[in-house]
Structure 1
Amino acid sequence: MVFVWRQWLRAQPWTPVARDRQTPKRRMLLMFKRSMAAQAALVVIGLGCMASGAVAAEEMFAHELERGDTLIGLRDRLLRPDADWRELQRLNRIANPRRLVPGRVLQIPMSMLREQPLDVEVLHTHGTVTLRQRAGTAAQPLVGGARLVVGDQVVTGPQSSAALRFADGSRVLMRPDSVLRIERSVRQGNNAVTTQLRLEQGSVDSRVDKTQKPRFEIRTPVANLGVRGTEFRTRAGDALTTIEVLEGAVASPPATGLAINGGFGAQATARGVSPPVPLPASPDLRGLPARLERLPLQLRWQAAPGQRFRAQVVAADQPDQLLLDGLFDGGQAQWGDDLPDGQYQLLVRAVDASGIEGRDATAAFRLKARPEPPFSTGPRAGARLQQGEVGFSWARSGQAARDRFQLASDAEFTAPLVDRADIEGTELRASLPVGPHFWRLASLRADGDQGPWGDATAVTGVAVPPAIESLPPQTTGDGVLLAWRGQPDVRYQLQVAAEPTFTQILHDETLDQPQWLLRAPAPGLYHLRVRAINADGLVGPHGAAQQVEVPRPSRWWLLLLPLVVLL
């Protein structure tokens, strides 16, 4: 329940007292009134054990009398039709109801004020948000622009949210997996707006407009929160309610003497409210990129070991439109949900061991992940290719009308060697020089909108081994030794043929050494050629072909046969 010191003090029948005539009690009361009036906001936590005096004070509405006010006129303007103006006279000890002093604060029981039902506006919904109008009825989808009335229950699903606006300008942001019921939404009298919500489970972020002096309450299974202009968060479970005050102050009933100021948090159970603790410090988001081009969304920031964080993504132009929410261990957030391209804001806050969350650190970013880049099919990353014309191929994205291709000698593509943005097919042949190079692809829509570049693929252009220079053959007792000038880090292919076109290959050898022995060749003319094969399997050109003639053996001893016969 709610106890409002400021309104209670303003409602007292003050009379001017000279400073030298002020009693200590009156001076203390006056100082207390001034100190409370200086506070910008007040939230009260009630646990069902408040003193009866606090309940009575809560039920009073303070109305400052104006010139021409009468009790009968106030009844017609502010009170219920069955309200008796004489009750106001008695409560406020008014001797003459026809002579009301302008400026005096009149106490009016809230129960006597005329009530006008007020709708609640649904500003935005995201994801799966449903409305159940009364118990036992089927849930129906809820969208932005809808109006809620007393008794309506709003439910947000996983990674879903809803933003509500009330008649006094206050706003509530429902986070994922939350259940909120509208218990009361009325205008009392001429300007007193009373809102009462029940957070059955989940989390809400509340911003209450202090300029309108609203009566705003959030009830949970174990605590009642009364608000007089502040910004705070509430998370409710069956046995625990967590409150984090960002602006203003939170105060418990006078019997407990507990106050929760802005920048502090506390937890409430059926037994009471824990002592307030400072909210955890905001994390450091410096270094986060301003542009993201990949899905799923991944964001990293500095964090100490063991730290836990809540990270959220909201629309840049509508900060109460919560799109992504999650708890993460370590300085990294990742969501698998599909997020449209656009401008966003990242909110990150630390979470302490008890679950109290700190103030948000914020970072703006732009997501431009579409149209998605093509899927490259060749050449593969790390391929070593023969210098010269090389074929590149890919699979087109479904959102693309054409593709853009770049080839460069550096991974930053500062000076592309090839840059084509008019490719309607899925293949391209381009000249690849010697050395390391990179190629990448991007998709373009029909209107020219280019999506992000795909990952760069590294390839290396490899020079073809030079032609081999053969050495003159040498005849040995074992055959003919064929040799050539060697090259580093290569193997050799030697071919020996019986004719110069090398259509009839007699020998085809792959060698590690720059020589080969043609053993006991038959007499005749041989043609031979050699080429180098480097470590990448690239084959160089053949060197100049050589000819080797193996003569028939001499038969001079046949000339001696006649002499042998004569002998």
Structure 2
Amino acid sequence: MRLTRPLVLRQISVCFAFSLALALPMYSMAAKTSANGEPGSFISTPPDMTYFAVQGDTLSAIAKRYTDKTRNWTILGKRNKIDDDRAIPIGTAILIPLELLPEEDSEAKVIAMTGTPTYKAKDGSSGNLALGTVVREGTQITTDKNGFLTLSLIDESRISIPSNSQVSLAKLRKTKYTGSPRTEVNLLQGKVESRVSSLVSNKGRFEVRTNLAVAGVRGTNFRVGVNEDGIANEVLSGGVAVANTTNAAGKKPDELMLTAGKGNIISSSGVGKAVDLLPAPVMSELYLLQERPTLQFQVEPNAAAVAYRVQIAKDADILTILTENRFKDNRFKFDGFADGNYFVRITAIDKAGLEGFPLVKAVTLKARPEPPFTVQPKNKVRAERLDFAWTEASDAVAYHLQVAKDPEFKNLLLEKNEIKEVQLSSDRPAEGNYYWRIATITRKDGKADHGPFSDVQKFAVLPVTSLAPPGEGNGNQLSFSWASEPGQKFLIQISTDAQFSKLFLSRELDQAELKIDRPQAGTYFIRVRSTDPDGYVSPFSATQKITIQQRWTSGDGSPINSSGGAVGTNF
């Protein structure tokens, strides 16, 4: 989908110049090369190309042939310490500075993408980009809200274009004979991140331009973004010099060197001072394995951060970005991910809008098959037997039950991992506090697939009473519970069909528990969704199924018991 909102940019004229303290002098009086080659051949010897003369060669002839300009013979003379344009002996090594070589067309290739980024070529053709697509000079690329793109240049440099951005590949060329890259990217909207291979030795050039500024580098990792305040510049490695060109004619531009870890804002008032980029956020290792469908992350608070940018990708280099979002708080949530391995990148954003250093972590999501809802026991047990029950999980072939004396399940009292039913009865343990949890086992690719355990349920084994006190339901109620967090609200639905078109119950709750009178015999389906205090609404949980069997009751509705329990029921 092409972005349609109008592009508004301030008319600020700003110039960035790479500090050429890193570059090599163009016309240094280097010693003659010791390289040998066949007459008429050439080799790349950065910062020059070495050509081996043939019979009849002169500096002017060589200059015309390889630089397209005869007058360049004087530059070749200085570089090779030859005073005049006389005949050169066969096989003589002649150094030709790479800066003098003419340019020819180059290209870039789409190596990673998400969504449907679009392009418009120089010839007017347009369409959607795809992996492996080769783009050339003059192509304009647009990403929408869910689109991300990474291009690879001929020297393995990378251009990453995040969502809601628009760039034009204004120049994609390379030097003839040696292939030294000459790249110019026009940023029209949004942001661009560049990871540029070193261009110092091969005299290559890489520039990111807007109608406000130009940033030229010879090997660095930096970000440039267009925002309401002007241009945001963030240098992660290498160095970039920035200069304001709006000064009066003849007045020296204001200049500022941005080294690694520094950033600034260029605005209509001038070149902002260099400031330290915020450090990479800190996150607990507990978030590296996630066992619920909603991916959740939380970083330690940073008083200097006003927001955070979070990206989920398939690779550690964050080239194939699956989604991203900006959050004001230090807690982040993402839905819609299948189980698998991912990478998360988190940056803190300061009050000026500058992004800091990134935190990148590998994350494993193993949330399926989802655990069943626990039914009983709840809170306390006053019975001769310890009975466990849970809902039926979709595609389950077995269930894994654990009972322990501690919430960390280091001291197991009971463990069963091949339960075929949705209930289990065991001997009553000694009085005290206990913990239990249940997991679903399915079949995947011919092998057992063990899902994560449910949230831990605590119960107390209390003295047996012969008659339940009034108000406890006398077995005429069902109770359901699910994982919750402080302040959440819930919508729970029970239906007589799996499509939830025939609702038996739909209720909003402030607590993660539902108690209802035992319904008539039959099959029911249950699902729940949560709403966080911040307004975040989760998708519905996986549907669970419960079966209520017919049973005999007395006149007051209480179950008729035999020595084996209530007659005609599995609860």
Q: TM class, shorter-chain normalised?
A: 0.5 to 0.7
Please give the residue correspondences for 1:138-537 in structure 2 after superposition, counting only pairs within 5 Å.
139-140=127-128, 142-191=129-178, 192-210=180-198, 212-237=202-227, 240-252=230-242, 255-269=253-267, 272-305=270-303, 307-308=305-306, 309-332=308-331, 334-376=332-374, 378-379=375-376, 381-382=378-379, 384-398=381-395, 400-433=396-429, 434-446=431-443, 447-465=447-465
* CA RMSD of superposed structures (Å): 3.8
Give, in whole Å, the separation in 2 of the partners of 1:108 and 1:213. Answer: 7
- Where 1:448 maps in the other structure, the secondary structure is strand
Distance 1:293 1:137, change over 3 A: same
Q: What's the offset of the Cα at 1:396?
A: 0.5
Give, in whole Å, the separation in 1 of the partners of 2:434 and 2:559. Answer: 18
Specify the code of the residue in structure 1 equivalent to 2:145.
P
Which runs of 5 or more structure 2 residues have no equivalent in the other structure? 1-14, 32-45, 78-82, 244-251, 471-557, 563-571
Give, in whole Å, the separation in 2 of the partners of 1:423 and 1:129. Answer: 49
Aligned residue in 1 for 2:84: 95
Conserved in 2, the CA contact under 8 Å of 1:222 and 1:238? no
Specify the code of the residue in structure 1 equivalent to 2:391.
W
**Which of 113, 116, 132 matches 1:125?**
113
Aligned residue in 2 for 1:502: none
Q: What's the offset of the Cα at 1:244?
A: 0.6
Please give the residue correspondences for 1:94-113 in structure 2 after superposition, counting only pairs within 5 Å.
95-96=84-85, 98-99=87-88, 106=97, 109=100, 113=102
Aligned residue in 2 for 1:33: none
Distance 1:268 1:127, change over 3 A: same
Give, in whole Å, the separation in 2 of the partners of 1:379 and 1:77. Answer: 88
Q: What's the offset of the Cα at 1:443?
A: 2.0
Distance 1:65 1:118, change over 3 A: closer
- Where 1:451 maps in the other structure, the secondary structure is strand
Q: Deviations over 1:250-302 (max 9, x none)?
A: 11358433211111111223564322212123333355443221232111222
Give, in whole Å, the separation in 2 of the partners of 1:124 and 1:248. Answer: 25
Q: Deviations over 1:498-532 (max 9, x none)?
A: xxxxxxxxxxxxxxxxxxxxxxxxxxxxxxxxxxx
Give, in whole Å, the separation in 2 of the partners of 1:267 and 1:74. Answer: 47
Please give the residue correspondences for 1:29-48 in structure 2 after superposition, counting only pairs within 5 Å.
none
Distance 1:304 1:149, change over 3 A: closer
Give, in whole Å, the separation in 2 of the partners of 1:3 and 1:436. Answer: 68
TM-score, length basis structure 1: 0.64
Q: What's the offset of the Cα at 1:233?
A: 1.2
Q: What's the offset of the Cα at 1:196?
A: 1.5
Give, in whole Å, the separation in 2 of the partners of 1:161 and 1:373. Answer: 34
Distance 1:5 1:464, change over 3 A: closer
Aligned residue in 2 for 1:554: none
Q: Deviations over 1:217-254 (max 9, x none)?
A: 11123211112111111212366221111111111358
Give, in whole Å, the separation in 1 of the partners of 2:451 and 2:87. Answer: 76
Conserved in 1, the CA contact under 8 Å of 2:24 and 2:47? no
- Where 2:190 maps in the other structure, the secondary structure is strand
Aligned residue in 1 for 2:503: none
- The structure richer in helix per residue is 1
Distance 1:239 1:282, change over 3 A: closer
Give, in whole Å, the separation in 2 of the partners of 1:7 and 1:490. Answer: 85
- Where 1:257 maps in the other structure, the secondary structure is strand
Distance 1:74 1:342, change over 3 A: farther
Specify the code of the residue in structure 1 equivalent to 2:175.
Q
Q: Deviations over 1:117-153 (max 9, x none)?
A: 222111111244333446975542x332222222333
- Where 2:403 maps in the other structure, the secondary structure is strand
Distance 1:383 1:214, change over 3 A: farther
Specify the code of the residue in structure 1 equivalent to 2:25.
R
Specify the code of the residue in structure 1 equivalent to 2:187.
L
Conserved in 2, the CA contact under 8 Å of 1:383 and 1:460? yes
Which runs of 5 or more structure 1 residues have no equivalent in the other structure? 17-60, 468-488, 492-536, 542-567
Q: What's the offset of the Cα at 1:184?
A: 1.9
- Where 2:453 maps in the other structure, the secondary structure is coil
Give, in whole Å, the separation in 1 of the partners of 2:370 and 2:86. Answer: 77
Conserved in 2, the CA contact under 8 Å of 1:437 and 1:458? yes
Give, in whole Å, the separation in 2 of the partners of 1:178 and 1:187. Answer: 26
Q: Deviations over 1:345-371 (max 9, x none)?
A: 433333221011222234443222222
Give, in whole Å, the separation in 2 of the partners of 1:137 and 1:64. Answer: 38
- Where 1:449 maps in the other structure, the secondary structure is strand
Conserved in 2, the CA contact under 8 Å of 1:10 and 1:105? no
Name the larger-Rg structure.
1
Give, in whole Å, the separation in 2 of the partners of 1:7 and 1:109. Answer: 19
Q: Deviations over 1:287-337 (max 9, x none)?
A: 5443221232111222145633333333355543333433333432x2323
- Where 1:245 maps in the other structure, the secondary structure is strand
Give, in whole Å, the separation in 1 of the partners of 2:106 and 2:172. Answer: 5
Distance 1:177 1:62, change over 3 A: same
